[in-house]
């Protein structure tokens, strides 16, 4: 109800239909190859940040001025094997400081890329060398953690795939980096970053949705083909709800972590900002057919994302019977009976009469004062400004913990914890069916979600909403593991 994106979304239809047909937005990346491994030692990569232009909207629109890693939007897909060590040199060619955060990767704290918490921001012209092991196999991504509401929105993000020692057997392994841009009629990025309206509502929802940096028209497939599709939501604020008409996707991993293979609830795959899903998709259509992939998340604003376009020869007539379950990652299993309990309460955002639900008089008064200063979201009554990052919780190391997240707002919040994955164990008191491991959990309006984890990665870790405008307007905190 209240979570309506701006009506500007309709402009996307205009952009999408006005132009020429674009080639399939598949897994084949047009990007220059990232330097390959040396014989031994870490795999080396280089990420150079700079400005450039990208063809986001089709002709006759001009190219869009972007900020990019290695001059491509999204940045190059980094791909390694589980157990390998990565060494990534990030060179800042922007005019402002930045960092790189490896979203979902369980890295040592000093490699986590949070300015003022785990490192100093990388100044313009400087570099920082990140080095860490790929502990978990799965689909991850990277992005700046410095003024991310603008840096990410201008094009800085990329996928990071860690392959299993023995990957699932499929015909194609494809990544779709899903993004959402707010473009002008000239296909330039709107410069209205950090405005209060976005901050207090659903965040910076755009009007142009892309797959791997392009407005997709069709995705070429063949009958009988089995595809592992890695969906990554790098949008600032848009939640996707993808339905594959005529097909039966099986979700095999969420946020990089294997999950018992299952059909998505309600037939659509819901991904809040920063979330990922790996799906196994069997192409059961017939040559010549087109089947639509629709995003149905926001009621009344459904749109066609792309089509699965069947061409060429059928690959096989029957669905392969290859296994779809992924091997588990080395995550410590929380002991729910022995777990220590914690609660975090979210307040804020636009609401009727601006009352602070669930807050007592004094707390509500102090939140109102902070709102006058541009902080609109609160975790346990506090809006973080980035300077005073005293931990909201301290978790005893190597113990099991249950964190109960209580959303006293009328809005969705994809809540992300750095350095760990957690099991989502209940929603509104009802145990979840699959106790999925996530690093980002979408908490619905007025919902209470419980997660459980073993706090086995020491350090100060960010815990924040991944709607980047909510984060910037206070919805972040530090959770200390000590």
Rounded to the nearest 5°, which phi and psi values hold at 414?
-80, 100
- Judged by beta carbon distances under 5 to 8 A according to partner kind, the member of ligand C2O, Cu ion, none in contact with residue 382 is none
- Residue count, binding to ligand C2O (CB under 6 A): 10
Quick count: other Cβ atoms within 10 Å of Cβ 342? 16
- Residue count, binding to Cu ion (CB under 5 A): 4
Which listed residue (12, 43, 71, 101) binds ligand C2O by CB under 6 A? 101
**Cβ at position 236, least distance to ligand C2O in Å:** 11
Residues 6+ positions from 363 with CB-CB distance below 8 Å: 356, 381
- Judged by beta carbon distances under 5 to 8 A according to partner kind, the member of Cu ion, ligand C2O, none in contact with residue 162 is none
**Cβ at position 391, least distance to ligand C2O in Å:** 15
Closest CA to 439 of 84, 201, 106: 106
Q: Which two tokens stand for residue 251?
A: 């979700």
**Cβ at position 76, least distance to ligand C2O in Å:** 18
Tell me if 302 sits within 8 A of 245, measured CB to CB.
Answer: no
Closest CA to 60 of 95, 96, 14: 14
- Judged by beta carbon distances under 5 to 8 A according to partner kind, the member of Cu ion, ligand C2O, none in contact with residue 418 is ligand C2O
Residues 379-408 that bind ligand C2O (CB under 6 A): none
**What letter would DSSP give residue 265?**
G
Which listed residue (229, 254, 274, 477) binds ligand C2O by CB under 6 A? 274
Sign, Cα dihedral of 381, 383, 389, 391: positive
Pairing of the two strands 393-395 and 476-481: parallel
For position 465 contacting ligand C2O by CB under 6 A, the verdict is no
For position 145 contacting ligand C2O by CB under 6 A, the verdict is yes
For position 275 contacting ligand C2O by CB under 6 A, the verdict is no
Which listed residue (71, 416, 420, 423) binds ligand C2O by CB under 6 A? 416
For position 103 contacting ligand C2O by CB under 6 A, the verdict is yes
Sole window of 119-127, 208-216, 286-294, 462-470 interacting with ligand C2O (rule: CB under 6 A) = 462-470
CA distances from 305 to 63, 76, 216, 302, 353 (A): 21, 22, 7, 9, 37
**What letter would DSSP give residue 285?**
S
- Judged by beta carbon distances under 5 to 8 A according to partner kind, the member of ligand C2O, Cu ion, none in contact with residue 276 is none
Pairing of the two strands 64-69 and 268-271: unpaired
Q: Which two tokens stand for residue 42?
A: 């870490």
**Cβ at position 428, least distance to Cu ion in Å:** 18
Map residues 427-466 to x or -, x wherever contact with Cu ion holds by CB under 5 A. --------------------------------------x-
Q: Which two tokens stand for residue 449?
A: 């979600």
Q: Where are the beta strands (DSSP E) in 153-273?
A: 158-163, 172-181, 208-211, 218-221, 226-233, 240-244, 250-254, 257-262, 268-271
Map residues 359-398 to x or -, x wherever contact with Cu ion holds by CB under 5 A. ----------------------------------------
Q: Which two tokens stand for residue 145?
A: 């953690």
Q: Measure the CA dihedral 188/194/200/201, to 10°.
A: 20
**Cβ at position 470, least distance to Cu ion in Å:** 3
Q: Which is nearer to ligand C2O, 146 or 347 (CB)?
A: 146
Q: Which is nearer to ligand C2O, 359 or 443 (CB)?
A: 443
Q: Which is nearer to ligand C2O, 215 or 481 (CB)?
A: 481
**Cβ at position 71, least distance to Cu ion in Å:** 31
CA distances from 289 to 23, 228, 279, 285 (A): 17, 20, 21, 7
Q: Which residues bind ligand C2O (CB under 6 A)?
A: 101, 103, 143, 145, 274, 416, 418, 462, 464, 466
């Amino acid at each position: 109800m209240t979570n309506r994106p701006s009506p500007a979304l309709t402009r996307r239809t205009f952009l999408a239909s006005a132009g020429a047909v674009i080639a399939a937005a598949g897994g084949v990346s047009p990007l220059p190859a990232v330097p390959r491994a040396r014989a031994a030692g870490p795999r080396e990569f280089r990420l150079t940040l700079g400005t450039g232009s990208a063809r986001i909207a089709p002709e006759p629109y001009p190219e869009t001025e972007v900020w990019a890693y290695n001059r491509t939007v999204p940045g190059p897909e980094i791909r390694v094997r589980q157990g390998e060590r990565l060494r990534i040199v990030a060179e800042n060619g922007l005019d402002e400081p930045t960092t790189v955060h490896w979203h979902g990767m369980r890295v040592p704290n000093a490699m986590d890329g949070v300015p003022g918490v785990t490192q100093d921001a990388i100044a313009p012209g400087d570099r920082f060398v990140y080095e860490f092991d790929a502990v978990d196999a799965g689909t991850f991504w990277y992005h700046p953690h410095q003024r991310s509401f603008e840096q990410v929105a201008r094009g800085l993000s990329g996928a990071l795939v860690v392959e299993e020692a023995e990957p699932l057997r499929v015909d194609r392994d494809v990544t779709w980096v899903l993004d959402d841009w707010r473009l002008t009629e000239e296909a330039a990025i709107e410069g209205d970053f950090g405005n209060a309206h976005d901050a207090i509502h659903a965040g910076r929802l755009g009007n142009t949705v892309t797959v791997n940096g392009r407005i997709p028209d069709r995705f070429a497939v063949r009958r009988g083909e089995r595809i592992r599709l890695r969906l990554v939501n790098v949008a600032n604020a848009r939640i996707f709800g993808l339905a594959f008409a005529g097909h039966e996707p099986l979700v095999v991993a969420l946020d990089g972590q294997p999950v018992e293979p299952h059909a998505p609830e309600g037939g659509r795959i819901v991904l809040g900002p920063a979330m990922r899903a790996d799906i196994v998709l069997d192409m059961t259509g017939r040559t010549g057919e087109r089947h639509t992939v629709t995003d149905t998340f926001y009621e009344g604003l459904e749109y066609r994302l792309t089509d699965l376009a069947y061409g060429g020869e059928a690959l096989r007539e029957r669905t392969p019977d290859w296994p779809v379950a992924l091997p588990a990652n080395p995550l410590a299993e929380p002991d729910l009976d022995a777990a220590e309990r914690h609660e975090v309460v979210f307040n804020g955002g636009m609401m009727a009469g601006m009352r602070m639900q669930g807050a007592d008089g004094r707390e509500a008064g102090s939140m109102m004062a902070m709102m006058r200063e541009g902080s609109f979201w609160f975790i346990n009554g506090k809006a973080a400004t980035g300077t005073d990052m005293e931990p909201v919780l301290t978790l005893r190391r190597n113990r099991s913990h249950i964190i109960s997240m209580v959303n006293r707002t009328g809005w969705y919040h994809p809540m992300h914890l750095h350095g760990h994955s957690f099991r989502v164990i209940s929603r509104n008191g009802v145990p979840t069916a699959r106790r999925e491991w996530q690093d980002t959990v979408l908490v619905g309006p007025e919902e209470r979600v419980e997660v459980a984890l073993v706090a086995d990665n020491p350090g100060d870790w960010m815990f924040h909403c991944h709607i980047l405008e909510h984060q910037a307007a206070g919805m972040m905190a530090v959770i200390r593991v000590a």
